[in-house]
Amino acid sequence: MVFRRSSRWVAALPVALTLGLSGCGSGAPAASAPATEVTVFAAASLTGTFTELGKVFEAAHPGTTVRFNFGSSATLAQQITQGAPADVFAAASPATMKTVTDASLAGAPATFARNKLQIAVPAGNPAGVDELKDLADPKVKVALCAEQVPCGAAAVKALDAAGLKVTPVTLEQDVKATLTKVELGEVDAALVYRTDVTASAGKVQGIEFPEADTAINDYPIATLTKAPAGDLARRFADLVLSQRGKDVLAKAGFETP
């Protein structure tokens, strides 16, 4: 028996093939949609300034969202090396940034700000703290950042420069937590960044001390090599390094590098 193809089936074949191919994108890979979200890991002391810059960035890039993860620079660096998805890392010290660059997870960092310590005391300064040596008095309850985080490492440098031994009643994992102890009146004093005293809006008083000049922290920023939103990451870093970024940081008390 001989089978004959229907002329109508043969005529319809090119149309069916065309439809099938167009449904598969003609074999070409579909263009990926541009990223609309950028994730920034940043030191806790940058909370106020970066939140403001995030709003500036979103206004300049409609439809884009900036998501922040603020915390101890050491903790953030560890999260990045363990595979946490992020686009930008802004650290409170070169040492914590080095953890990420040594793992080949970030491009060349650029320093965008500097910060130094102040003694923070509760409003009214009930313990009568006037200078750094007062923190060595066992009657004065002191909070410090843990030594492995930038604000703690800076505190160690400043205290060593003054030849002082201070026994804190608590060691906190980032500068915001340390400052909170002062704001709540749980301690008489703490060593925190000058910018955090400014950001407290009068909840604490800041006391300058000369040894702080020996422990100034540089703040580096870098885009991550595996950034899901590489283009947005570069644009955000550029904003931080721009004059607009410098103005926002200076208003908060950061120094120009």
Whether the pLDDT of residue 17 is over 50: the answer is: no
pLDDT above 80 (res 116): yes
Q: Under CATH, which number does the domain 37-114+218-251 receive?
A: 3.40.190.10
Which pair of tokens denotes residue 157?
Answer: 């440098």
d(Cα 194, Cα 217) in Å, to the nearest integer?
11
For 91-109, what is each residue's pLDDT tens digit?
999 999 999 999 999 999 9
Q: Mean per-residue pLDDT for 54-81? A: 97
d(CA 201, CA 184): 14
Task: Label the pairing between strands 142-145 and 110-115.
Answer: unpaired
Judge whether 37-114+218-251 and 117-214 match in fold: yes
For the 117-214 domain, the top CATH level (class) is alpha beta
29 pLDDT higher than 90: no
pLDDT at 15: 38
Asked if pLDDT for residue 18 goes beyond 50, the answer is no
Q: Sort residue 91 into left (φ over 0), alpha (ψ -120 to 50) or beta.
A: beta
Q: Please, is 24 exposed, middle or buried when counting C-beta atoms within 10 Å of its C-beta (0-12, 13-18, 19+)?
A: exposed
What confidence score (pLDDT) does residue 33 get?
59
Any idea which of 31-45, 53-67, 143-157, 174-188 has the lowest mean pLDDT? 31-45
CA 110, CA 88: separation in Å to the nearest integer?
Answer: 12
* 197-244 per-position pLDDT tens digit: 999 989 999 999 999 999 999 999 999 999 999 999 999 999 999 999
From the number of C-beta atoms within 10 Å of its C-beta (0-12, 13-18, 19+), residue 132 rates as buried
**Residue spans per domain, the chain:** 37-114+218-251, 117-214
* Type and span of the H or E element at 236: helix 230-241
- Looking at the predicted structure, is the pLDDT value of residue 176 above 50? yes
Whose CA is closest to 89, among 52, 39, 143?
39
- pLDDT tens readout for residues 118-139: 999 999 999 999 999 999 999 9
Quick one: pLDDT at residue 27?
Answer: 46
At residue 35, the pLDDT reads: 75
Q: What global pTM score does this model have?
A: 0.82
Q: How much of the chain exceeds pLDDT 90, in percent?
A: 84
Q: Which of 34-38, 92-96, 101-105, 162-166 has the lowest mean pLDDT?
A: 34-38
Q: Enumerate residues 6+ apart whose C-beta is below 8 A from 141.
A: 127, 169, 186, 187, 188, 189
